[in-house]
Structure 1
Amino acid sequence: MTHAEPDLALALDRAHVFHSWSAQGTLSPLAVQTAEGCRVTDTAGRTYLDLSSQLVNTNIGHRHPRVVAAIREQAELLPTVAPAHANLTRGLAARAIVERAPEGMSKVFFTNAGADANENAIRMARLHTGRDKVVSTYRSYHGNTGAAVVATGDWRRVPNEYARGHVHVFGPYLYRSEFWATTPEQEAERALQHLDHVIRAEGPASVAAVLLETVPGTAGVLVPPPGYLAGVREICDRYGAVLVLDEVMAGFGRTGEWFAFDGFDVRPDLITFAKGVNSGYVPAGGVVLSDEIAATFDDRVFPGGLTYSGHPLAMASVVATLEAMADEGVVDNARRIGEDVLGPGLRELTDRHAVVGEVRGLGVFWAVELVRDRATREPVDADAMARVKAGLLRRGVLPFVQDNRVHVVPPCVITPDEVREGLAVLDEVLAEVGPEVVA
């Protein structure tokens, strides 16, 4: 690598690349050259511990040799094929996914990412029920396509509200309860009552689906309280609505389970996935269908498709990822890391730093919520978060920062020593920034 290359990478990016979710004029992105395991290296040769998993997707880590080899081998055999054709690699990928799904879910519709997975799940639910409305939560993110972004609950839906038939409710979030709850049980009960009342007010016969992230991710790693998801399942059954669980971020090891809902007493009708299914090595996503919904289209045309649905390179990476994760105990590692190292370590930071309002999470899926005042729970401002992010980067840690939170979401293959390394840096940064922002 020459000395000119780091400057060239950034110069070409700024000259020609239009970035998502950003005002373009002030951007100065990190120029990444390579990555391996839990570390990424920039074009200047500096290495960072990746506690972001990029966009919470590199569950198996960077540049896993079995996945890279599978993509290379598939490229030499059949680099692309139309989705109308049968292909062994696609069939193997679908089988590997449904083997980890609940009984009675034996078909997969492949998409290019999580957004179009949710888009097609909404379409399936509407066609299966003959109804129109989709209920989702305000604290959610489901993707940046027509219906998915309107199902999203955060600010990003507001400039994009072109799709019809979307209704939002508040989901459980005890730390900032909308329901004046003081216990997880109260929060679940009152959030369920709220959902039930909204569906009744909208007209149950008009509601096609309830679409939820099993564990809302970008919204704050909001682990549902006991009984909540089972209660949503009961409400959907009562009113004949389809339950769609969005596992795009939470699935394939992130929470220490193959699917996040495996840790809760619930079975969905449709599962959407992407990200961790192949760690994003090649874009891939999809919908796992219940046999009942799949049967709707036995004699009826499903009006949806994508040129790259089940793309062979993506399918090869799915097969290799799921095989490697199973052989290497990656999901179990994520669970152990969360229970034994990451969770306890983050709770210690809560005891040490007044700026930490709450930590919450499962597996390798955690959020640290920063506040100016623990009593009022007033969030720290954007300037404080910028300083936290800059402090982490300066010390060689690549963070995922959202609103007033640091999301600690490393690859599922992270080691205890790497976790301790990352937590030590976070400890330093909170000690530096915290006293200056706490009221």
Structure 2
Amino acid sequence: MTVQQSSDLDARAVELDRSHVFHSWSAQGALHPMVLAGGSGTRVWDHSGRSYLDFSSQLVNVNIGHQHPKVVAAITEQATTLATVAPATAHLTRGEAARRIVERAPGGLDKVFFTNGGADANENAIRMARVHTGRDKVVSTYRSYHGNTGAAIVSTGDWRRVPNEYSRGHVHVFGPYLYRSEFWATTPEEEGERALQHLRRVIECEGPTSIAAILLETIPGTAGVLVPPPGYLAGVRELADTHGIMLILDEVMAGFGRAGEWFALDAHDVVPDLITFAKGVNSGYVPVGGVLISGEVAATFDERVFPGGLTYSGHPLAAASIVASIDAMSEEGIIDNARRIGADVIGPGLADLAERHPVIGEVRGTGVFWALELVADRTTRAPLPAALIGKARTELLARGLIPFTSDNRIHVVPPCVVTDDEVAEALAAYDDVLTLLDEEL
């Protein structure tokens, strides 16, 4: 293919997109989408051959990397055998996918309800909690994102909730976030204790017997990679137990290697009643999500019909991709790589940048799940203006790196298979662009 033909394909992709594709969370007229045509591992490229290091993992979901051959082969093989099957049937690949997920979850969560993605995983977990408890309210945090369906979007705390508040029974609280503490805390321990006291008072004032569930991202992702302080999640579990409230942990973004563990909750000494997952379980190769269900909740539906279902629940192509992804992650030490590279390479590298660039207010994270909080002034902690975040994104793309930006932050979220050399390449790009931002200030 000639250079001109490749360029024509990129132009055609943009033309078709702008003519016929309606994009999520966007004012359509201002869009200028980049073109992606292929990928491998941590890199992607357009038709013209421009290559990018993907430190966004697209939407923080390509944990196993792009085009992992074992996952692609499993999808292909399943497609040639049985491309679709009704959810009411028993299907071997679906069962194997569920078994592998259960084996990596805390003990007592032995059933999986498959969904099409993370939003409807949270939607159905909320439904299960409401039916199981006979209660209505769901408590979640303001700094959160749980998906774009009826109850999930209203459980969400960020701006996307406000135009979509059509579901009933949702209550929001502030979770721990020491850098911008709502509780005048000065240490992680204070922040955790005061956040728990705040949650306790909201539960008491709302009426504990009216609350079906507390829904939390184990590590809030889009809200800023807010790793909870020690003891916080265990304290939430204790509060839930005291009042007969179900605890739902949303692992859609944090699970399956992203936080350097199979589930982020593994590092926090807590076992919820329900776990939601999606994204990382198969790196988004085929749309899928699900709910891990405790024995107590599952037993509610032994004699009572579960009032929910999806045509594509446990779709065989998705199930095959899950089996291959989990097996490859186990066999190739991909979870271990995410943990090691976060502790030994990404974390120290970002800390070094923070020492040299006044625009960085805080570095936080774990595994391959990190955030640089950028500020206009370290003393006041005033967020870096949106225009400069936009400039940072443009400059990083020009250096061949796809960033994930949100509010005043750059999230450093490469695939779990990222290498030391690739991290070094990304750190050099961040260093260059942060120098430009320092000069702007």
Shift of 1:43: 2.5
* 2:286 counterpart of 1:285: no
Structure 2: state its 5+ residue gaps: none
TM-score when normalising by structure 1: 0.99
Deviations 1:245-288 (A, max 9, x none): 00000000001000000011111100000000000000000000
**Correspondent of 2:322 among 311, 318, 322:** 318
The alpha carbon displacement at 1:26 in A equals 1.1
Q: Which residue of 2 aligns with 1:419?
A: 423
AA matched with 1:225: P
**What is the Cα deviation at residue 51 of structure 1?**
0.2
Distance 1:117 1:267 in 2: 18
Correspondence for 2:9: 5
Residues 1:345 and 2:334 aligned together? no
Distance in 1, matches of 2:143 and 2:354, equals 24
Aligned 8 A contact 1:346 1:423 in 2: yes
How far has the Cα of 1:435 moved from its partner? 2.1
- CA RMSD in angstroms comes to 0.5
Q: 1:223 aligns with which of 221, 224, 227?
A: 227
- 1:355 touches 1:435 (CA, 8 Å); kept in 2? no
* Alignment map for 1:49-198 (pairs within 5 Å): 49-198=53-202
Amino acid of the residue matched to residue 28 of structure 2? Q
Paired residue for 2:25? 21
Match for 2:37 among 17, 23, 33? 33
Q: CA deviation at 1:44?
A: 2.2
Q: Which residue of 2 aligns with 1:364?
A: 368
Gaps of 5+ in 1: none
| Identical residues among aligned pairs (%) | 72
CA offset digits 1:169-190 (Å, max 9, x no partner): 0000000000000000000000
Give the letter for the 1:7 counterpart: A
Of 38-47 and 191-200, more deviation after overlay is shown by 38-47
CA distance in 2, matches of 1:433, 1:368: 13
Count of aligned pairs:
437
Q: Is the 8 A contact 1:135 1:167 kept in 2?
A: yes
Aligned to 1:106, the other structure's residue is in SS state strand
SS in structure 1 of the partner of residue 213 of structure 2: strand
SS at match of 1:32: coil
Residue aligned with 1:226, SS? coil
Q: Counterpart of 1:170 in structure 2: which amino acid? A: F
State whether structure 2 residue 273 is matched by structure 1 residue 269: yes
Structure 2 Cα separation of the partners of residues 434 and 296 of structure 1: 57
Offset of residue 45 of structure 1: 1.2
Task: Say which SS state the counterpart of residue 370 (structure 1) adopts.
Answer: strand
Give the drift of 1:433.
1.9
Contact 1:204 1:239 in 2 (8 A): yes
Query: Could you tell me which residue of structure 2 aligns to residue 296 of structure 1?
Result: 300
Pick the aligned partner of 1:327 from 322, 328, 331.
Answer: 331
Supply the distance in 2 between the matched residues of 1:190 and 1:435 (Cα, whole angstroms). 38
Deviation of the 1:47 alpha carbon = 0.3
State the match for 2:401 in structure 1. Answer: 397
Whole-angstrom distance in 1 between the partners of 2:173 and 2:61:
27
**How far apart, in 1, do the equivalents of 2:240 and 2:260 lie?**
27
